[in-house]
């Protein structure tokens, strides 16, 4: 029997987390880990207590806005944002942690990752936002893309 690596293990958990997503366009999951312990998880969906896109439709889809553009018109909070906010809501420090994302973080999430003190990003999949990886590198965040 072969065991998955730690990165494979936590990425698989991120894939389970994304199943809770309520976004019509893209399902994303994120898991924040420190010292091999899960600190927080998040998936993309409407803020707590609000109607979800699966219930009322996608405004960005109706307006024909391409993926990666006009984030302010999206009803959902991104998975990485939700994982970071959930840790803060619970009073959990994520400084020096690793975040596992099923999709490359966008520029907004990357800025939050940097300011939250997360030191490593492991992700699958791409996102149409080249600036995102540039600022993560500039901030000294370790980036690992996995297949």
Residues identified as active-site: 80
What is the Cα Rg of the chain in Å?
15
Q: 78 a known binding residue? A: yes
Q: 101 a known binding residue? A: no
Q: At what angle do helices 107-116 and 79-89 cross, to 10 degrees?
A: 30
Q: 49, 6, 56, 53: which is closest to 31 by C-alpha? A: 6
CB atoms inside a 10 Å sphere around CB 105: 28
Helix (H) or strand (E) holding 109: helix 107-116
Task: For residues 12 and 102, give the distance between their C-alpha atoms in angstroms, rounded to a whole number.
Answer: 9
Strands 120-123 and 142-145, sheet pairing: parallel
* Residue pair 51/57 in contact by the 8 Å Cβ criterion: no
* Residue pair 126/104 in contact by the 8 Å Cβ criterion: yes
Binding residue numbers for Zn(2+): 78, 106, 109
């Amino acid at each position: 029997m072969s065991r998955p690596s730690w990165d494979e293990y936590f990425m698989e958990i991120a894939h389970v987390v994304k199943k809770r997503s309520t976004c019509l366009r893209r399902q994303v999951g994120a898991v924040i880990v420190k010292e091999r312990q899960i600190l927080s998880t998040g998936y993309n969906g409407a803020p707590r207590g609000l109607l979800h896109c699966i219930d009322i439709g996608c405004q960005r889809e109706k307006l024909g806005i391409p993926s990666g553009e006009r984030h302010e018109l999206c009803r959902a909070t991104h998975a990485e944002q939700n994982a970071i906010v959930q840790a803060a809501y619970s009073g959990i420090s994520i400084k020096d942690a690793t975040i596992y994302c099923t999709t490359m973080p966008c520029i907004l999430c990357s800025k939050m990752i940097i300011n939250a003190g997360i030191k490593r990003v492991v992700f699958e999949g791409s996102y149409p936002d080249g600036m995102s990886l540039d600022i993560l590198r500039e901030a000294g965040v370790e980036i690992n893309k996995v297949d």
